[in-house]
Structure 1
Amino acid sequence: MSDKKVYTVQIHNRFEDKWYTVQVPEDQYILRTAEEQHGKLPFLCRNGACTTCAVRVISGEIYQPEAMGLSPQVRRQGYSLICVGYPRSDLVLETQDEDEVYDMQFGRYFGKGRVRFGIPLDDD
């Protein structure tokens, strides 16, 4: 008999307006397990380096030591990467627009207006 905990993870895919409920063992990545249980979710790198699979944690706790693509500040705001995230409780998650998360993380560096060939453009 296994002592592994298994958690119920509910994921709202905003892009398709679909809900997925999956059972994820504590030692398995949420994204991979959701795919195995027929959930279609956004992803790109599968290495925790981008923000394509970012979710907002509505409730519950995710352990994500490999999530290089999210700053500690964005994590504290309740965002996680499910490609490298392990459940630590039952969860309710919601997929996010990658641009929203990217802007939260890097907007202060790139939020100086539109750029063309390295030159900021005046607003038209």
Structure 2
Amino acid sequence: MTKRVVLKPQNLEFIVEEGQTVLEAALNQNLAFPHRCMVGACASCLCRIESGAVDYDLEPLLTEKEKQQGWMFSCLAYPKSDLVITFGDE
């Protein structure tokens, strides 16, 4: 089942297919999405969930505070629901 992701503040929307990470889906749809290593080591793809939920095969190295604030590694994150995300702290 596909999930819809909205990237704020640009309000860019893209679809994540079953089995795709958020980053894979963004890149497959030619969106400029920051990334480097694609394995959760560099933190270049770190973004914050404003609404929705994700799951991971391999839990990323986030502190409890970062998790509570909604930060996620888009290269490792599989959406469990539609998402609204941002790269900023707003």
Normalized against structure 1, the TM-score is what?
0.63
Counterparts of 1:74 and 1:66, CA distance in 2? 17
Larger-Rg structure: 1
Report the number of matched residues: 89
Task: Note if 1:86 corresponds to 2:78.
Answer: yes
Point out the structure with the larger helix share.
1
Counterparts of 1:58 and 1:24, CA distance in 2? 17
Cα distance change, pair 96–50 in 1 and its aligned pair in 2 (3 A): farther
Structure 1 position 96, deviation (Å): 3.8
Deviation beyond 3 Å, 4+ runs, structure 1: none
Unaligned runs of 5+ in 1: 98-124
Q: Give the letter for the 1:9 counterpart.
A: V
**Could you say which structure has the greater relative contact order, defined with CA pairs below 8 angstroms and 6 or more residues apart?**
2
Deviates more, 1:86-95 or 1:61-70: 61-70
Structure 1 position 11, deviation (Å): 1.4
Structure 1 position 32, deviation (Å): 1.0
Alignment of 1:49-68 (within 5 A): 49-68=41-60
Deviates more, 1:29-38 or 1:67-76: 67-76
- Verify the 8 A CA contact 1:53 1:83 in the aligned structure 2: yes
Unaligned runs of 5+ in 2: none
